[in-house]
C-alpha cells in the first residue's frame, strides 16, 4: 500500500462560559491516540472562570495556546484561532463536544489520502441531557442551488463521501486555505452565527476543492446552553432574522440575478419549517401558536430582505469567492 505523509493537526476550540464542558473537551483532546500538534483555545477576556481553568493547566500532554478575542461571535473567535494555529490542518470542535480517541488520527489520514479535499468532517453523536439522538441517513451535508439545505451530519452512516458542507462541531480544514479566505465576518449573531459552515464550504468548492464526510470520524456532542439570542430550541425573533439573513446572503451571493429571483420566490413563497415562507406559514398555522408562527415568518422574510439589500448594495462588485 502507498505511504502518505500525515499532516500536522491543530485542534481549535472556541469557548465561552462553559468551563465544565471545556474541561471534558480538553481531556478528550489530551487523550488522542495521535496527539495534535497543539490545542488552540479562543476565549473572551471577561470569561474569568475559563481563564482560571486554562491558567491552571500544567504539564499537559499537548501544548495549549490561548487566543483572546474581544468581539463576540463564533466567526471572530475562529478567525483569531486560525491566525495562531501552527498545524497544516486545523480541526475545529466545540467546547461541548468530546472527540473520540482516534479523531485526530483519522483526520490526518483522510487529508493524506485525499489531496483533492480542503475539508474533512464527520458525525457528532448528539446528546440532549441523558437522551442520545439515534438514526442513520445516507444523505448529509447537501446545499442545493434552490431549496432546503440537508444537514443531518449527526445521523450520517455508510462510507466516506463528498459533501457540500461540514458541521462546525466536527470539521477540519487545510489551514493555509482557511487563513486566506477567513471565516465570513458579514454574518450576523453575537454567538453561534449560524451557517458560517455553509459560507466556508461554498467558497472552498468554488475554488475547485472538495469536502469529505466520514461518519467514522466521531465526536460526542453534549448540547449545552448558548449565551446569545440563539437558544437552539426556543424562538427568538432576532435570532430568526439573523439566521435567515445569513443563509440568504451566503446562498444568493453565488447566484446570478435571475437565479436570485428564483431563490427569492422559493424562500418567500415556500421556505422550510425552520425558515418559513408563506406556504409553510399556512401549513403550520393550525398546529402552532398563531403569534409565533406569524412572527417567525415575518422575521424570516425580513432577514431575506436585509440580505437582498446588502447584496444589491455591493453594486458591481463580484460575488465573494
Kindly give, in sequence order, each residue whose CB lies less than 8 Å from that of residue 313, ignoring residues fewer than 6 positions away: none
CA torsion angle for 39, 40, 44, 49 (degrees, to 10)? 10
Task: Return the H-helix or E-strand segment holding 65.
Answer: strand 64-68
Measured CA angle at 272 (ends 163, 303), to 5 deg = 95
Which 8-state DSSP code applies to residue 62?
A: S
Task: Return the H-helix or E-strand segment holding 37.
Answer: none
Q: Hey, which CATH number is domain 9-222, 1.10.940.10, 3.30.1300.10, 3.90.550.10, 1.20.140.10?
A: 3.90.550.10
Residue 245 cell numbers, joined: 439573513
Domain extents in the chain: 9-222, 237-313
Kindly give, in sequence order, each residue whose CB lies less than 8 Å from that of residue 12, ignoring residues fewer than 6 positions away: 40, 42, 78, 81, 82, 85, 90, 91, 92, 93
* Per-residue pLDDT tens digits of the chain, which is 321 residues long: 455 799 999 999 999 999 999 999 999 999 999 999 999 999 999 999 999 999 999 999 999 999 999 999 999 999 999 999 999 999 999 999 999 999 999 999 999 999 999 999 999 999 999 999 999 999 999 999 999 999 999 999 999 999 999 999 999 999 999 999 999 999 999 888 999 999 999 999 999 999 999 999 999 999 987 664 454 567 899 999 999 999 999 999 989 999 999 999 999 999 999 999 999 989 888 776 667 888 999 999 999 999 999 999 984 444 443
Bridge partners of residue 67, in order along the sequence? 42
Which 8-state DSSP code applies to residue 198?
A: H
Residue 24 cell numbers, joined: 471534558
User: What is the rounded CA–CA span in Å between residue 81 and residue 124?
Assistant: 22
φ, ψ of residue 47 in degrees (nearest 5):
-85, 75
Per-residue CA distances from 226 to 46, 72, 133, 190, 309 (Å):
16, 12, 19, 10, 29
Amino acid at each position: 500500500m502507498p505511504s502518505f505523509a500525515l499532516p500536522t493537526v491543530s485542534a481549535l476550540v472556541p469557548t465561552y462560559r462553559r468551563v465544565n464542558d471545556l474541561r471534558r473537551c480538553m481531556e478528550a483532546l489530551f487523550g488522542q491516540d495521535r496527539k495534535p500538534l497543539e490545542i488552540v483555545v479562543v476565549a473572551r477576556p471577561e470569561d474569568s472562570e475559563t481563564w482560571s481553568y486554562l491558567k491552571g493547566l500544567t504539564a499537559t500532554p499537548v501544548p495549549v495556546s490561548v487566543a483572546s478575542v474581544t468581539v463576540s461571535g463564533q466567526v471572530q473567535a475562529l478567525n483569531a484561532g486560525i491566525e495562531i494555529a501552527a498545524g497544516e490542518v486545523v480541526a475545529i470542535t466545540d467546547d461541548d463536544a468530546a472527540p473520540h480517541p482516534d479523531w485526530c488520527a483519522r483526520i490526518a489520514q483522510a487529508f493524506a489520502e485525499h489531496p483533492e479535499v480542503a475539508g474533512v468532517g464527520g458525525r457528532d453523536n448528539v446528546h440532549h441531557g441523558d437522551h442520545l439522538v439515534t438514526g442513520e441517513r445516507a444523505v448529509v451535508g447537501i446545499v442545493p442551488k434552490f431549496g432546503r439545505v440537508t444537514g443531518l451530519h449527526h445521523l450520517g452512516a455508510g462510507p466516506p463521501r463528498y459533501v457540500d458542507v461540514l458541521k462546525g462541531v466536527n470539521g477540519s480544514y487545510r489551514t493555509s486555505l482557511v487563513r486566506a479566505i477567513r471565516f465570513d465576518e458579514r454574518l450576523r449573531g453575537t454567538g453561534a452565527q449560524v451557517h458560517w459552515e455553509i459560507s466556508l464550504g461554498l467558497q472552498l468548492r468554488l475554488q475547485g476543492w472538495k469536502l469529505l464526510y466520514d461518519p467514522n470520524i466521531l465526536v460526542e456532542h453534549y448540547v449545552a446552553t448558548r449565551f446569545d439570542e440563539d437558544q437552539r430550541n426556543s424562538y427568538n425573533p432576532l435570532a430568526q432574522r439573523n439566521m435567515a439573513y445569513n443563509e440568504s446572503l451566503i446562498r444568493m451571493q453565488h447566484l446570478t440575478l435571475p437565479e436570485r429571483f428564483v431563490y427569492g420566490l422559493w424562500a418567500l413563497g415556500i421556505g422550510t419549517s425552520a425558515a418559513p415562507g408563506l406556504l409553510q406559514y399556512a401549513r403550520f398555522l393550525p398546529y402552532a401558536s398563531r403569534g409565533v408562527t406569524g412572527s417567525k415568518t415575518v422575521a424570516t422574510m425580513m432577514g431575506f430582505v436585509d440580505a437582498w439589500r446588502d447584496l444589491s448594495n455591493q453594486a458591481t462588485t463580484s460575488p465573494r469567492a
